[in-house]
Amino acid sequence: MKKTWLVVIPVMLFVLVAAFLYSGLSSDPRQLDSQITGQPFPEFLLPDLMEPEKNYTQAALKGEVTIVNVWGVWCVTCAVEMPYLTHLKETEGVRFVGLYFDQDLDPDNGTKTLNRVQQEVTELLSRYGNPYAFNIFDVYRDTSLDLGVTGAPEHFVIDREGIVRMHHVGDINERVWMNKIGPLYQRLTGREEQNAQGAGR
C-alpha cells in the first residue's frame, strides 16, 4: 500500500508540473489583459495632427464603428500595415482614426517641431496610402496612457456608443482581420445580418 503511494505521488506531481509548464510554453507574456475593453473611450481634448487649431473630444469617435489606430512615423510595423488598412478602408469602408504620437517629440525636452512631424506624416501617407478619416495628435501621450498603450501599432475597436470593444496589440494584416477583428467589426456594424439576408434570397 505504502509502496504504491511512493510511486503514485511523484508521478502525479510530475504530471501536474508538466501540464503547468506545458501551458506556459504557448502563453505570451506580452499578452496583457486589456483594462479598457468594455469601457467607454477615455475622455480627451486633443488637436488634429494636420490642423492643430481644430480640436477633438471623445465625441468624435461616436456614431460610427471606428477603429482607432495608435501609430507614429517612427514605427516600422505601422508603415507596413498602412497599405492593408487603406485597402480595408477602400473595400469595406472601415473608418480608421489615427491616434498619433511621436517618440522624439518629448514634451519635456522636445527636439522635433510640429512642422517636421506633419511633413514626415504627409510623406509617409503619400507613399503607403492614407487609411485615416483624421489623425488625433496625442501631444503628451496622456490618452495613450489612459488606453493602456504600450507601443505601436495598437488598435481599438470602438462601437457606435463610443465603447471600446477590442484592444488589439500589433498590426492588422489579412490573417488578423479575417480571424479576429473582421468578425467583430461586421457584427458591430450589423453587416453580417445583411450578408446573411442577401445570401438567403
Looking at 144, 159, 168, 189, which residue binds another protein (CB under 8 A)?
144
For another protein, the binding residue among 81, 148, 171, 188 (CB under 8 A) is 148
70 vs 88, beta carbon nearer another protein: 70
Which of 56, 146, 160, 191 forms a contact with another protein (CB under 8 A)? 146
Tell me the C-alpha distance between 196 and 183, whole Å. 13
Task: Tell me the backbone φ, ψ of residue 69, rounded to 5 degrees.
Answer: -110, 115
**61/36 Cα distance (integer angstroms):** 15
Cα within 13 Å of Cα(1), Cβ side: 0
In the complex, the smallest distance separating the C-beta of residue 35 from another protein, rounded to whole angstroms, is: 5
Q: Could you tell me which stretch among 34-42, 47-55, 126-134, 156-164 binds another protein (CB under 8 A)? A: 34-42
Task: Identify which range of 48-56, 58-66, 107-115, 175-183 contacts another protein by CB under 8 A.
Answer: 107-115
Tell me the three cell numbers of residue 171: 498590426
- For another protein, which stretch binds (CB under 8 A), given 27-35, 81-89, 120-128, 181-189? 27-35
Applying CB under 8 A, among 1, 27, 108, 126 the residue interacting with another protein is 108
> Which one of 147, 157, 172, 181 is in contact with another protein (CB under 8 A)?
147
Q: How many angstroms separate the CA atoms of 96 and 69, rounded? A: 7
Identify whether the C-beta of residue 71 lies closer than 8 Å to the C-beta of residue 153. Answer: yes
Q: 157 near 65, Cβ under 8 Å? A: yes
Nearer to another protein, 30 or 201 (CB): 30
Q: Lay out the sheet containing 164-169: strands in order across.
A: 132-137, 95-100, 66-71, 154-158, 164-169
149 binds another protein per the rule CB under 8 A? yes
- Helices vs. strands in the chain: H and E counts, helices first: 7, 7
CB of 21 to another protein, least distance (A): 14
Contact residues for another protein, defined by CB under 8 A: 29-30, 32-36, 103, 106-109, 141-142, 144-151
